[in-house]
Structure 1
Amino acid sequence: MSFLSKINQFRRGVMRGLTKDIGKQKTDYGILMVDKSEIKRILICRPNGRLGNLLLITPLVKEVAATFPNCKIDLFVKGTLAPIIFENYEAYNKSIPLPKKPFKSLIDYIKVWVSIMKEPYDMAINVDQNSSSGRLAVRFSNAKYKFYGDLDENQVIDKSDYEHIAKYPVYNFRNYLSKLGIEKSNRIIASVDLNLSSSEFMNGKKKLDELVTNSKKTICIFTYATGNKCLTEEWWGDFYKALKDKYREYNIIEILPVENVSQIGFQAPSFYSKDIREIGAVIANTELFIGADSGIMHLASSVQTPTAGLFSVSNLKKYEPYDNSSIGIDIYSYSKNDYFKVFNAILSNGRIKSLSKAV
């Protein structure tokens, strides 16, 4: 670990220690029954700029929009991806990006916090209870109702999928709403969703048809991941060879990362783009996505393509893809034959190409 990384790790630890109790004081709304139609301006705080982490808040955004149908949602985030991810969400209003390097953009950094304090929000929601900046944003907002992301100590949510990073914020939020007199929803938590339009989907089909000029169905792989999540070239080489032998009746294409590298040495037809919606649209036209835990894995899941996530170090229960026959695979618990049994089951079920209605 570099010196700067150690400093950042120390800084984050200090900030978490200073902010962990913010919002934990008991808030008593008495017998107040909140009129859902009056909740019109909502701030959702997830000050993170990674593709996967932003996609993983889409179920919460859909939950909030379904609960408060008259609302508009602002997102307190980092980076420039949020407007791209949420552009087809009707409830989405704007993003408030926190500079990645505050000391180099001090004026912009201050402006962000001032804007949060000035905006007339009805409700502010922190997604990650361990986020210092998220807790502070909710605290500094002038919203009447403030949810810091915590589950009350005396509350237990008996859900087998509660640990999932896309789901526990929704469960916690439902619990909070019940204290405001709003009936707790029991509906199934929404899928991670990029909300592709029909024109985007068809453009993805066109791009795929240009890449593979036959009528066979297509399996999509992504061989890259960051850090120690990235499986070796040797691992991928063996896997790709077996995949080709097993699925001769399918095309196999590789989605390339922004770094434009391939763990299989560019042996497969490959697709490269810096446009995440275009990448998602291409994946949406394939039958199966296979790749290690990464933002692109979550992107594949978000376009309703059956996704097999290969996990080697990440917490599978926290990050595995779900819905649409998707599954997380612990590579240390599966044999090569086990992989193909899973893939066969997914492919035999077929896939339903459907576009979600934006919320």
Structure 2
Amino acid sequence: MSILSKINHYRRGVMRNLTKNIGKPKSDQGIILVDKSEIKRVLICRPNARLGNLLLITPLVQEVTEIFPNCKVDLFVKGTLAPIIFENYENIDKVIDLPKKPFKNLLKYLNVWISIKKQKYDVAINVDQNSSSGRLAVQFSNAKYKFYGDLNEDSQLVKNDYDHIAKYPVYNFRYYLTKLGLAKINKIVAPIDLKLSSSEIAQGKKLINDLVHNSKKTICIFTYATGAKCLSEEWWEKFYSQLTTQYKEYNIIEILPVENVSQIAFKAPTFYSKDIREIGSVIANADLFIGADSGIMHLASAVQTPTIGLFSISNMKKYQPYDNCSVGVDINLYTKKEYIKTINSILNNGKLNTYSNAI
């Protein structure tokens, strides 16, 4: 670990300790929300720049806008990806982005906090209870109702999918709303959703056709991941050989990372783009996506393509893809036969026509 990384790690630890008690006891204890229609502006705080983490808040955004259909939502994030991810979310109003390097952009950094303080919000929500900046933003806001992202132990006991990072913020927020006097919600948590338009889907199909020049169905693979999550070239070579042997009737296309590297030495037809929505549109036209835990794996899940997430060290219960036959598998436990069985089960089930009513 570099000196800078050690400093950042230490800084985060100090900030968590300083902010962990913000919101306790809750400032809105005893307040009752009589009329949901009074909620006009909502602030959702997830000050993180990573593709996966931003995609993983889309179920909460859908939940909030379903409960408060007349509200406008501002997002407090980091980086520049959020406007792209939430492009087709009609209720999203402003994206308030913290600079990745605050000390190099001190004026913008300060302006962000000033803008949060100046705006009148009805509800402020922190997605991750361990986010110091998220807790501070909720505290700093002028919102009447403030939710700091604290865990709901009752949900942990009742919900077998509570540990999932896209779901527990929804369960926790639902519990918070019951404390405001609203009825308990028991419906299934919404899927992660990029909300591709019909024209984007059509463009993705064209891109695949231009690449393979045939009418076969398609399997997309993504062989890259960051750090120790990245499976070895040897592992991918064997797996790719297995795929090409078993699924000759399918196109197998490799989605390349921004680093433009391949763990199978570019043996498959490849698709490269820096446009997140364009990558999503290509994957949306595939019948199956296979890749290690990464932002692109969550992107595949967000375009509702059946996804097999390959997990070697990550917490599978927390990060595995879900919905539309998607599944996480532990590569340390899976055998060759089990991969084939899982893939066949998904392909034989068929992809749901999720985008039949696309925007």
Q: TM-score range by the shorter chain?
A: over 0.9
Matches for 1:136-285 after TM superposition, within 5 Å: 136-151=136-151, 157-285=157-285
Which residue is 2:332 aligned to? 332
Matches for 1:124-143 after TM superposition, within 5 Å: 124-143=124-143
Which residue is 2:94 aligned to? 94
Asked if structure 1 preserves the Cα contact closer than 8 Å seen for 2:16 and 2:131, the reply is yes
SS of the residue corresponding to residue 354 of structure 2 reads: coil
Matches for 1:17-28 after TM superposition, within 5 Å: 17-27=17-27
Deviation at 1:32, TM superposition (A): 2.6
- Cα distance 1:43–1:138, how it changes in 2: closer, same or farther (>3 A)? same
- Tell me how far apart the structure 2 counterparts of residues 12 and 210 of structure 1 sit (CA, whole Å): 47
- Cα distance 1:357–1:36, how it changes in 2: closer, same or farther (>3 A)? farther
- Cα distance 1:328–1:87, how it changes in 2: closer, same or farther (>3 A)? same
Unaligned runs of 5+ in 2: none
Which residue is 1:290 aligned to? 290
Deviation at 1:99, TM superposition (A): 0.8
Asked if structure 1 preserves the Cα contact closer than 8 Å seen for 2:43 and 2:73, the reply is yes
Which residue is 1:57 aligned to? 57
Task: Give TM-score scaled by structure 1 length.
Answer: 0.97
Deviation at 1:29, TM superposition (A): 4.6
- Tell me how far apart the structure 1 counterparts of residues 325 and 155 of structure 2 sit (CA, whole Å): 31
Deviation at 1:33, TM superposition (A): 3.6
SS of the residue corresponding to residue 235 of structure 1 reads: helix
Task: Give TM-score scaled by structure 2 length.
Answer: 0.97
1:173-210 deviation digits (Å, cap 9, x = unpaired): 00000111111211110000000000000000000100
SS of the residue corresponding to residue 61 of structure 2 reads: helix
Asked if structure 1 preserves the Cα contact closer than 8 Å seen for 2:155 and 2:162, the reply is no
Q: Which amino acid aligns with 2:2?
A: S
Which residue is 1:346 aligned to? 346
Deviation at 1:153, TM superposition (A): 6.0
Which residue is 2:303 aligned to? 303
Matches for 1:1-40 after TM superposition, within 5 Å: 1-27=1-27, 29-30=29-30, 32-40=32-40
Asked if structure 2 preserves the Cα contact closer than 8 Å seen for 1:195 and 1:357, the reply is no
Q: Which amino acid aligns with 2:18?
A: L
- Tell me how far apart the structure 1 counterparts of residues 358 and 211 of structure 2 sit (CA, whole Å): 29
Asked if structure 1 preserves the Cα contact closer than 8 Å seen for 2:27 and 2:146, the reply is no
Deviation at 1:357, TM superposition (A): 6.5
Which residue is 1:74 aligned to? 74
1:195-244 deviation digits (Å, cap 9, x = unpaired): 00000000000001001111110100000000000001111111101110
- Tell me how far apart the structure 2 counterparts of residues 356 and 291 of structure 1 sit (CA, whole Å): 25
- Cα distance 1:53–1:245, how it changes in 2: closer, same or farther (>3 A)? same
SS of the residue corresponding to residue 158 of structure 2 reads: coil
1:48 is aligned to 2:48:
yes
Q: Which amino acid aligns with 1:299?
A: L
Provide the alpha-carbon RMSD of the alignment: 1.4
Moved more, 264-273 or 143-152: 143-152
Asked if structure 2 preserves the Cα contact closer than 8 Å seen for 1:89 and 1:358, the reply is no
1:253-286 deviation digits (Å, cap 9, x = unpaired): 0000000110001000000000000100000001
Q: Which amino acid aligns with 2:181?
A: G
SS of the residue corresponding to residue 355 of structure 1 reads: helix
- Tell me how far apart the structure 2 counterparts of residues 138 and 280 of structure 1 sit (CA, whole Å): 32
SS of the residue corresponding to residue 225 of structure 1 reads: coil
- Tell me how far apart the structure 2 counterparts of residues 304 and 243 of structure 1 sit (CA, whole Å): 22
Q: Which amino acid aligns with 2:175?
A: N
Deviation at 1:336, TM superposition (A): 1.3
1:285-322 deviation digits (Å, cap 9, x = unpaired): 01000000000000000001000000001000000000
SS of the residue corresponding to residue 332 of structure 1 reads: coil
- Tell me how far apart the structure 1 counterparts of residues 152 and 285 of structure 2 sit (CA, whole Å): 43
Asked if structure 2 preserves the Cα contact closer than 8 Å seen for 1:196 and 1:356, the reply is no
1:36-63 deviation digits (Å, cap 9, x = unpaired): 1110100000000100000000000000
Q: Which amino acid aligns with 1:131?
A: S
- Cα distance 1:29–1:13, how it changes in 2: closer, same or farther (>3 A)? closer
- Cα distance 1:358–1:283, how it changes in 2: closer, same or farther (>3 A)? closer
Deviation at 1:355, TM superposition (A): 2.0
SS of the residue corresponding to residue 348 of structure 1 reads: helix
Asked if structure 2 preserves the Cα contact closer than 8 Å seen for 1:195 and 1:356, the reply is no
SS of the residue corresponding to residue 252 of structure 1 reads: strand
- Tell me how far apart the structure 1 counterparts of residues 303 and 192 of structure 2 sit (CA, whole Å): 8
